[in-house]
Structure 1
Amino acid sequence: MTFMLFNRLSFALVLALLLSVPLGCGGGGSGGSGTSAPTNPGQQNPEPEPEPEPSVTELPVKDDPHWEQAKAAARFLQQTTFGPTEESIIQLMNQGETAWLQAQLNTPATSHLEQLDARFAELGWDATPNPEIEGVDGYYRDLQRSDVWWEIALRGDDQLRQRVAFALSQIFVISNVSDVLYNDTRGIADYQDTLARHAFGNFRELLEAVTLHPMMGEYLSMVRNEKADPVRNIRPDENYAREVMQLFTIGLVELSIDGTVKTDAQGEPIATYNQDTIKAFARVFTGWNFATTNHWWEWTSDAVGEALPMKAYQDIHDTGEKMLLGGERLPAGQSAEADLEMALDNLFNHSNVGPFIAQQLIKRLVTSNPSPGYVERVARVFNDNGFGVRGDLKAVIRTLLTDPEARNGHLEQPDTAGKLREPVLQISHLWRVFKAEGVQVLNREGTAVAGTRIRYRGSDRTLGQRPYGSFSVFNFYRPDYAHPGTISDQDMDSPEFQLHTESVMIAKTNALTEAIFWRDADADYVQSQRANHDWDIYPPAIDMTREKALSGDAGALIDRLDLLLTAGQLSDEARQLLIAHIETLEHGDNNPHSQRVRVFEAASLIAASPYFAVQR
């Protein structure tokens, strides 16, 4: 069922909400080129905020002394999870950011592959077919993988790890839009696990795990990459060699430690590599194939090999001398493993990696336009975690999230701080707030399977975005995209705006509205509906019990939703507009329908507003 936004909501009220947003909040910036660093650029360990003294058991109301503390907790959770919830806000307020963050950094990864294999077993399907199942049945298998992704995103205990893994998946991109990965269901689940497992490990180990993962091998054609053979007109494939530099490690131009571009005597950016460098790395990445093959020329698509690191075949590896970055030479006669180790070390130790990765992660988690000082502080920790270790991602993430600009940027640059939230994070936020229950799914015999599913694989149609569904290795949007007009004119970046075309914005707003309207778990017609085994999208039922109990008090209802959905950033004008609108709606203490309508209107209007779309 499709709900058009303006069939349900007041156009005048939505327009009024848009106009009540502070100037520039949609710009997604937090500093731009002219912003000075709030603290010493060399500071690696900024002092944590004071731990909260009082203990709370429920969300505070707007005039409560703990309101500001609750807003700070909700904002922190927008940066570190797939969306704050009432329980997580209270937990963070009581635990304090430092203790909460440490606990999350120590929480082990939830395995997508283990849950996917268990899901196959429940359905009576072979978890590891050889060859992997294709066609319609292969699509049904990928529906299960998508279900697992959404369920872990919404319910997993390792929220920070999975959120960082989601960020990494948009740097180290693979996609099953590509024909080569379309049926590699277990492989994509394992790739997600690989990113999550290394999210708080060392970047060098992450880089090697990604390089040798068969899903990356297939996606960027490193699998069966052969050394040159002039007789057969064979040359090493340059695909992975190019992207591992441009997108995964160093970028196109030389960077200073603060992420600013280095220029030559003529004022032109200095390139990090040239075509000869690409050719040399292409020769490095020869000689690899699936772990379950017996010969280098074999092509396999078995479900076991999808989830195992590739193995080397020395006969097809180029053993000649190679010139890499910085004039480093790989000696002739080395094995495929030795060349790969030295080449990845060469990339890892390049001075660009720290600021390049720092910028990418800050943009994915905190703000679209970090100041040079912010980038430098994070990059310095990447270069040295304080104990002489380079590439410690746990230290990087801790520094990134506790930096003064992350914690206070919205106060120091209120008109520009923050970022536009991508659609997947907006819908996951709604579903976490309202405890999405999922829907029952039928197997092919028409019998309901155990439990419920968050079935939303078709989110690219409704949101313009789907996990592991980008159309190229360049992701859904580029990290340096600047929306034409005010944002571009102010020399700011707005990456997610590249995804938010007019059609996507309308479709996304309709999807957010549909995720609220008439999805009340108390409604019998929602609970009785079942998504069949081949349906790829169905909004789950949501729990609005607490909101309905407050529906008679428009102010209390709006304040609760303001805290849960926008981290308390509604302006006074927007708050009063919403309260006035809700008070015009019928209400009866014992009238479930009028209670439901009030909650639906309030939640939908906030979800359709820039206050919800922009993370500040």
Structure 2
Amino acid sequence: MAGGCSRSGGPEASPQGSGVNLSTVPPSAYPLPAAADAARFLNQASFGATEAEVNKVRTYGYSAWLEDQFFMPGRSHEAYINTVSASLAPGQSLDDSHVMNTFWREAATGQDQLRRRVAFALSQIFVVSLQDSTVSEFKRGVASYLDMLGRNAFGNYRQLLNEVTLHPMMGLYLSHLRNRKEDPARNRVPDQNYAREVMQLFSIGLYELNPDGTPRLVGGQPVETYDSGDIVGLSRVFTGFSWAGPDKSDTRFFGGGMQDPDREVLFMQSYPSFHSISEKRFLTAVIPAGTNADPDGDLRIALDTIASHPNVGPFISRQLIQRLVTSNPTPAYVARVAQAFDAGRYTSGLWSTGTGQRGELRATVAAILLDPEARTAARLADPGFGKVREPILRTAHWMRAFNASSASGNFLLGVTDDATASLGQSAMRSPTVFNFYRPGYVPPNTSIATAGLVAPELQIVNEVSVVGYSNFMRSAVQNGLGSGSPRDIQPDYTAELALADNADLLIDRVSLLLTAGSMSAATRMIIRDAVNSVAMPATNQTTARQNRVRLAVFFTLSSPEYLVQK
């Protein structure tokens, strides 16, 4: 509810399973998949396939797995941060690594994998970043923001937009927390930052779209969705919101005095005395000038207007497709997903999901993952299909594929920003509000550009990052990840070691888990030669088997078939 003081995070849930009887879920339009098809589905719908999840999808099918995930409880990032904070010694304080650790823990071991993967996608659309100095003061707040995205991952877009808008971390990041009404005597106007970005990045984009996501042209030219006047009008709506608390005093608005200790995880509340009463014109709405400030009512009108814009379905759908399945979805793919977004319902075979309310993200996600373009094996041969795996996904996938465990239980990997020595990317640490990369990024002077395609993730790839990733993963495969000696995060290669004497069987398993069985004959030959270069001695074979497994895993993680998710 606008301006309310409800918690913006969530309680620590006990992940005991969803309670869904998988055997009773109606089948989708697809037959029970083979192992490779199940693994490919899981690489799109989670942080990476595991043997157990592959077997579950093979046994029960796509719709049952999705239904199970839609109702799967999970653990709270905020609760993790609270536990860590309570355990700190005097003089110690939370830092960014604690937020990273809870992210890695859930990416690697969380049962609610689909929710986690979609929340990560949403965090790259509705960006809040710890690299911002004002946000970085509030680790618990950022954890609660990530919880909020997860809680809304299968909910309604309108509710998500409301909670994003009122979360104090977004208020700090895009400066509408403590935003004040205009004052001509002081030549002060409302801050326009959030008004601009909520339209450009979070809802409708720069240009009017057809239902299939292509630009609507008038006279051969795209049509802008908003202008400077819309930004001015909307900026007046986002005035008079600040920290939550038991009163609405000026002191609380400005953040002084005795502040609520939970303010960083409570939705912002309204302060009518700081809210503009001037006329507010934006998009199709006009809120007349008045004498009584109504910040909550004005906000409701604004978000209703934005959320009902016809651009929202194709704009959000295309970006979610890019994050989960492919960087270059066809217009027909976007149109089908946007239709599910608008209808609030999706049906495949005998299975249907969604409430029927426009903006239903559960139906949208199902439409993305069960679309023929996502599931048809014929698309694997299309060079324009798929997406570059970003470093975070690669690392989380390695942890999951090989059942990595944490000695501390906390997955002490921390910040991985350094492209020279680690990943060049950390969750919730985007350099700008435009994410790590832009959805329309085209690498210059490449065949991708010539073909008229985009490759968003390549915006963070360069010579330094390629070498940094290779060295980072080579060390991970060999020694594990994180702090400590031995390192905190260790893979379990037991199943692979049992196959190490037979290079082909070993490669089959590694290829299934990492590339969904898509490894080319040429790559397979290179890896087989590398594995077989390690001779098996007559005695003391343990080290040789370990080296064989590590070579197979590392070479696969470095292969084109792995670096591009199909």
- TM-score w.r.t. structure 1 length? 0.81
Is 2:358 aligned against 1:358? Answer: no
Q: Aligned ranges for residues 59-138 of structure 1 at < 5 Å?
A: 69-123=34-88, 137-138=92-93
Contact 1:78 1:84 in 2 (8 A): yes
Structure 1 counterpart of 2:424, from 451, 454, 464: 464
1:143: Cα distance to partner?
A: 2.6
Is 2:248 aligned against 1:299? Answer: no
Is 2:87 aligned against 1:161? Answer: no
TM-superposition CA deviations, 1:330-351 (whole Å, max 9, x none)? 1333500000000000100101
Contact 1:515 1:539 in 2 (8 A): no
Q: Which amino acid aligns with 2:440?
A: D
Structure 2 counterpart of 1:393, from 354, 361, 367: 361
Structure 2 counterpart of 1:483: 443
Is 2:489 aligned against 1:540? Answer: yes
Residue 91 of structure 1 aligns to a residue whose secondary structure is: helix
Is 2:496 aligned against 1:565? Answer: no
TM-superposition CA deviations, 1:144-182 (whole Å, max 9, x none)? 222111111111111000100000000000001010011
Residue 478 of structure 2 aligns to a residue whose secondary structure is: coil
Structure 2 counterpart of 1:312: 270
1:90: Cα distance to partner?
A: 1.3
1:310: Cα distance to partner?
A: 0.2
Q: Unpaired segments of 5 or more residues in structure 1?
A: 1-44, 53-68, 126-135, 440-450, 521-525, 531-537
Structure 2 counterpart of 1:576: 525
Contact 1:184 1:303 in 2 (8 A): no
Residue 50 of structure 1 aligns to a residue whose secondary structure is: coil
Distance 1:250 1:410 in 2: 32
Is 2:4 aligned against 1:50? Answer: no
Q: Which amino acid aligns with 1:188?
A: V
Residue 329 of structure 1 aligns to a residue whose secondary structure is: strand
Is 2:454 aligned against 1:493? Answer: yes
Residue 598 of structure 1 aligns to a residue whose secondary structure is: helix
Structure 2 counterpart of 1:278, from 231, 250, 257: 231
Is 2:184 aligned against 1:230? Answer: yes
Structure 1 counterpart of 2:550: 600
Distance 1:410 1:84 in 2: 21
Q: Which moved more, 1:591-600 or 1:116-125?
A: 116-125
1:539: Cα distance to partner?
A: 6.4
1:551: Cα distance to partner?
A: 0.9
Distance 2:540 2:48 in 1: 31
1:294: Cα distance to partner?
A: 4.5
Structure 2 counterpart of 1:515, from 461, 476, 493: 476
Distance 1:152 1:606 in 2: 24
1:518: Cα distance to partner?
A: 3.2
Contact 1:46 1:403 in 2 (8 A): no
Task: Give % identity.
Answer: 42
Q: Which moved more, 1:460-469 or 1:287-296?
A: 287-296
Q: Aligned ranges for residues 24-39 of structure 1 at < 5 Å?
A: none
Distance 1:119 1:227 in 2: 39
Larger RCO: Structure 1 or Structure 2 (Cα < 8 Å, ≥ 6 residues apart)? 1
Distance 2:27 2:403 in 1: 35
1:457: Cα distance to partner?
A: 2.0
Structure 2 counterpart of 1:184, from 138, 160, 163: 138
Distance 2:332 2:326 in 1: 13
Structure 1 counterpart of 2:287: 330
Distance 1:518 1:547 in 2: 16
Q: Aligned ranges for residues 261-272 of structure 1 at < 5 Å?
A: 261-265=215-219, 267-272=220-225
Is 2:488 aligned against 1:556? Answer: no
Distance 2:151 2:321 in 1: 20
TM-superposition CA deviations, 1:562-590 (whole Å, max 9, x none)? 10111101012221222122112121474
1:548: Cα distance to partner?
A: 1.4
Q: Which amino acid aligns with 1:576?
A: M
Contact 1:410 1:418 in 2 (8 A): no
Q: Which amino acid aligns with 2:485?
A: Q
Structure 1 counterpart of 2:301, from 342, 347, 360: 342
Distance 2:131 2:66 in 1: 35
Q: Which moved more, 1:143-152 or 1:303-312?
A: 143-152
Structure 1 counterpart of 2:23: none
Distance 1:230 1:475 in 2: 35
Structure 2 counterpart of 1:32: none
Contact 1:142 1:183 in 2 (8 A): no
Q: Which amino acid aligns with 1:607?
A: L
Residue 463 of structure 1 aligns to a residue whose secondary structure is: coil
1:456: Cα distance to partner?
A: 2.0
Structure 2 counterpart of 1:218, from 168, 172, 175: 172
Structure 2 counterpart of 1:503: 464
Between the two proteins, the alignment pairs up a number of residues equal to 520
Q: Which amino acid aligns with 1:277?
A: D
1:141: Cα distance to partner?
A: 4.0
Contact 2:244 2:260 in 1 (8 A): no
Contact 2:523 2:559 in 1 (8 A): no
CA gap 1:358/1:236 in 2 versus in 1, 3 angstroms: same
Alignment RMSD (CA, Å):
2.1
Structure 2 counterpart of 1:205, from 141, 154, 159: 159
TM-superposition CA deviations, 1:508-554 (whole Å, max 9, x none)? 1211111101339xxxxx99716xxxxxxx66221111111211111
TM-superposition CA deviations, 1:193-225 (whole Å, max 9, x none)? 000000000000000000000000000000110
Distance 1:409 1:227 in 2: 56
1:124: Cα distance to partner?
A: 6.1
1:390: Cα distance to partner?
A: 0.6
Q: Aligned ranges for residues 583-594 of structure 1 at < 5 Å?
A: 583-588=532-537, 590-594=540-544
Contact 1:46 1:402 in 2 (8 A): no
Distance 1:73 1:472 in 2: 35
Is 2:389 aligned against 1:421? Answer: yes
